Amino acid sequence: MALCNIITIGGAVEDITFHTDEGILINNKQDVLRQKLLAFEYGAKIKINKTFSFCGGGALNTAVNFSCLGFQTTILTAIGNDCRGKKIIQNLNKQKINTKLIQKIKDKPTGFSLILVDQNNEHIIFLDRGANSQLSINNYQLSILKQASWVYLTSLSGDWQNILERLFSVKNAEDHAGKIAWNPGTVQLQAGLNGLKKYLKKTNVLILNKDEALELAVSLSRQNSRISSGDIQDIKNLLKILKESGPEIIVITNGKKGAYAYNGKKYYYQKSVKIKKQMNTIGVGDMFGSSFVAGLKLYNNDVQKSMRFAAKNAALTASRGR
């Protein structure tokens, strides 16, 4: 028997992954938002060691994890009427994920990404959102969203403000008991903390990696002279600043250094789970975030147990090659 009803919203793409050991990692600490750069010789022909193709994207990755954990899972995303789109549908059906809310866009191809993986199995993603940029929420889909126990919102593009307006409007209904977890994407982060504040006030769980958290905090510090660059580098200050924007729980992941959370009353820390060798970093953040939300349901809202559960699942993903 399935657990509660969860709907994931956001991107579904084909990931084309290629590995190379010719990249040079450059420390760039003078730029708080771009602290590490991966460089290649200009004009050179770069050797690729191996190439793979997978289905990915924030909504797809998290939907697969929720379904594997036993939750009744539906995905709301947009694909093109093409081979990539058919491949994604087949993958979702295989994972027992409900695809009734998927939108097929006639004049746009299914999104895809080119993922460059270096010798340390860290990665950079080049993304063409394709049909994902046409995602919308109609009245029928909104009625289904109102019935969900949890909505897990990932990166959006296109008319994302309208999607947020419609989605968060369900929180205004007195009879709505569902919760929203949000891992905002690049376009949303560029709107800054003030641009997202009215939505964050209705967010139950905000999930960010440290770079994303810094980007939001920097946007606020530019408008508030009382917040210094030193303030936002301290993880507890960073959690507090973001918590004040409204979410019930703020979670920040920081790779091998672990993860942090704050609910306004208590700070939480979870160290990363050691693995013999890191084979992959693609989708690890999606695995952590969705596992944390699953943990809240499985462990009766125990934040520490949920973080431990998320860390174990993220480590499992990182230890598997792609």
pLDDT tens for 120-161 read: 888 899 999 999 999 999 999 999 999 999 999 999 999 999
Domain ranges of the chain: 5-318
| pTM, full prediction | 0.90
Q: What tens digit of pLDDT does each residue of 162-191 get?
A: 999 999 998 766 566 799 999 999 999 999
8 A C-beta contact, residue 180 and residue 203: yes
Q: Which CATH code, of 3.40.50.720, 3.40.1190.20, 3.30.750.24, 3.40.640.10, is assigned to 5-318?
A: 3.40.1190.20
In the chain, the amino acid numbered 239 is: L
Chain center to CA of 306: 17
Return d(Cα 33, Cα 212) in angstroms, integer: 8
Residue 1 has a pLDDT of 46
* φ/ψ bin of 211: left (φ > 0), alpha (ψ from -120 to 50), beta (otherwise): alpha
